[in-house]
């Protein structure tokens, strides 16, 4: 009985580098998406509490925070996708 012969396999380093960069990019984008979802949940909760209690300060703060988060999210999201 003879053992099977395994041919040598040449691994291309550029393909593995591209693959690891794509995986890192996907992980960064997922982390960013989760973070922005958490910020959105907090802003929505803040706005709901402000609307229920009739607090103008909470509504204004929720609006300003939501605007800042939206602008930051768009800018960072575009940069993550373009990288």
Instruction: Give domain limits for the chain.
Output: 29-82
On the question of pLDDT at 78 being above 80, the answer is yes
For range 40-64, the mean pLDDT: 91
pTM over 0.75: no
CA within 13 Å, CB half, 28: 14
- pLDDT-derived band of residue 14, with 50, 70 and 90 as boundaries? low
Place of tokens 């960069």: 21
pLDDT given at position 29: 83
CA dist 80 → 27, 30, 34, 51, 75 (Å): 10, 10, 14, 34, 9
Q: How far apart are CA 9 and CA 62, in angstroms?
A: 58
- pLDDT-derived band of residue 31, with 50, 70 and 90 as boundaries? confident
- pLDDT-derived band of residue 7, with 50, 70 and 90 as boundaries? low
**How many residues does this entry show for the chain?**
83
């Amino acid at each position: 009985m003879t053992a099977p012969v395994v041919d040598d396999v040449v691994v291309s380093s550029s393909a593995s580098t591209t693959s690891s960069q794509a995986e890192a990019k996907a992980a960064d984008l997922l982390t960013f998406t989760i973070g922005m979802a958490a910020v959105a949940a907090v802003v929505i909760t803040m706005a709901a509490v402000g609307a229920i209690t009739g607090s103008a300060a909470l509504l204004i703060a929720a609006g300003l925070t939501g605007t800042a988060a939206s602008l930051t999210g768009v800018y960072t999201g575009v940069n993550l996708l373009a990288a």
